Amino acid sequence: MKYLLLIYMNPAVWESLSEEERNEVFRGHDEFQKVIRDSGEMIGTQALADPSESATVRVRDGVPAVTDGPYIEAKEYLAGYYLVECGSKERAIELAGLVPDARFTAMEVRPIVFSAGAEI
């Protein structure tokens, strides 16, 4: 089954880390990617831009309204994800615990129930 391992970021936590701690997180991602590539569980990964770079689109009465920034103000935001394919939810949870960000913020494990379009 496919799972999204969603990485949440809290800017205040990230800013409180030393440069060495931040570099350790980046190295941890390199190591984690090697583990899931070697196991054949990695499908893909993406890092997302800061929410200040986003736009929110709402269509009301057929008219789109676009606002800059995130949908809601929050202390944590979606920073990126890994898409993995593994044998169980327990394994997906185990993998999420290996993502270095899990030590500082939160990881969400969400099953994929439908995918269409280009082969993932």
Question: Is there a domain that residue 25 lies in?
Answer: yes
So what's the pLDDT on residue 92?
98
Q: What is the DSSP string of 1-26?
A: -EEEEEEEE-HHHHHHS-HHHHHHHH
So what's the pLDDT on residue 64?
93
Our count of domains for the chain comes to: 1
Question: Is there a domain that residue 29 lies in?
Answer: yes
CATH of the domain at 11: 3.30.70.1060
Question: Is there a domain that residue 117 lies in?
Answer: no
Q: What is the pTM of this model?
A: 0.85
Question: Is there a domain that residue 104 lies in?
Answer: yes
Measured CA to CA in angstroms, residue 20 lies from 17, 28, 52, 60 at distances of: 8, 12, 26, 47
So what's the pLDDT on residue 118?
56
Question: Is there a domain that residue 12 lies in?
Answer: yes
Instruction: Give, as one character, the DSSP assignment of residue 52.
Output: G
Range of the domain at 39: 2-111
Six-digit token string for 103: 């030590």
Running along the chain, 120 residues long, what does each successive block of 10 average in pLDDT?
Answer: 95 92 95 97 94 89 88 79 97 97 93 76
Question: Is there a domain that residue 48 lies in?
Answer: yes
